[in-house]
Structure 1
């Protein structure tokens, strides 16, 4: 039987999966899947970047801010939490603010893998990099290849939109990772939990 889900149905399914047990997600992703060795190349290690595409800064505010990255056209990504769950995954939560004057569609943030293209404008291309273990962790997916992340991501000028992405968790002794979205500089964030 072929069951196809609408975008809204997929969002609801993702919410149910997140609220329920992670067992299904972990089982479908397997042990080492989603992990990729990374090179020892020197990159922005403190989350600070002077590249023309954006700059990174950490700033205190009334709500907790782990990191904030600024990209082209007035796009600002704020990371508010990176929570480790006992089920073996990390959920990164934050928001995208469009301080520019034109609509932002996160098409480039979905990643380049063929399977990710069907997620549309999303945070499916986000990665966590464990510099200590030299591994890269990709966004978790359901059995149909749908990301466990924000989809339908369009931000009007002057608007803030919440975002999230779930990843396999690095080992317990890893307390800090780099979070990166395509086209944006990396941001070093602390893992809680």
Structure 2
């Protein structure tokens, strides 16, 4: 087993342990009665640690299934969203991929990382992605863990070769259950509507 796989397994185990501890502490202390849709959790969520990709933007495997949204952006890039799923912990995870369909390589812009200096240490990320609930008049940002790392794919290469794909996930606070559709906004792409499951 390679060092990379061992590191990934350790991270996934640590995330699961932290998630279980958080769930236990929340159960023990009781809820706050709601009203915290836009707030960040104080610990890592239950999402698998698919964040880090060592240097090559095309190294991740493509997400399977038909996309629920497809949008064309700058430089011949296409963004496909494959799922937007709620989980029991009150989170919403968006999975998808970006493909360079152009004939030129694409240099990842800094705007993909978002505007927060606190997440700059993670390198390239999808922290600039947001979800907008127009009906509820709320904007949701990518969550952060206790070390200020965004709960999204991060530390991938800064260049996407022609024909290459970059698979991503991003985790957000879940909108209220009455919200079934949100607009995904990401720099360099037009806003696109996605159904929540």
TM-score, scaled relative to structure 1:
0.70
The answer as to 2:175 corresponding to 1:170 is yes
Matched with 2:84 is 82
Check whether the contact 1:149–1:163 (CA below 8 A) recurs between aligned residues.
yes
Matched with 1:92 is 94
| Structure 1 residues 164 and 121, CA gap change in structure 2 (3 angstroms) | same
- In the alignment of these two chains, the number of paired residues is 157
Matched with 1:111 is 114
Q: Distance in 1 between matches of 2:162 and 2:13?
A: 27
Among 72, 75, 93, which residue is 2:74 paired with? 72
Q: Which runs of 5+ in 2 are unaligned?
A: 1-5, 27-34, 41-63
Q: Secondary structure at the match of 2:19?
A: coil
Q: Distance in 2 between matches of 1:15 and 1:147?
A: 18
Q: Which runs of 5+ in 1 are unaligned?
A: 1-7, 36-61
Among 129, 140, 148, which residue is 2:143 paired with? 140
More helix by percentage? 2
Matched with 1:152 is 155
Aligned residues: CA RMSD: 3.1
Matched with 1:44 is none
Q: Distance in 2 between matches of 1:151 and 1:11?
A: 17
| Structure 1 residues 189 and 13, CA gap change in structure 2 (3 angstroms) | same
Q: Distance in 1 between matches of 2:13 and 2:98?
A: 20
Check whether the contact 2:184–2:192 (CA below 8 A) recurs between aligned residues.
yes
More strand by percentage? 1
| Structure 1 residues 186 and 95, CA gap change in structure 2 (3 angstroms) | same
Check whether the contact 2:130–2:184 (CA below 8 A) recurs between aligned residues.
yes
| Structure 1 residues 148 and 68, CA gap change in structure 2 (3 angstroms) | same
Deviations 1:115-150 (A, max 9, x none): 122232110111111111100000010011100001
- Please report how far the alpha carbon of residue 22 of structure 1 lies from its aligned counterpart in structure 2 after TM superposition: 7.1
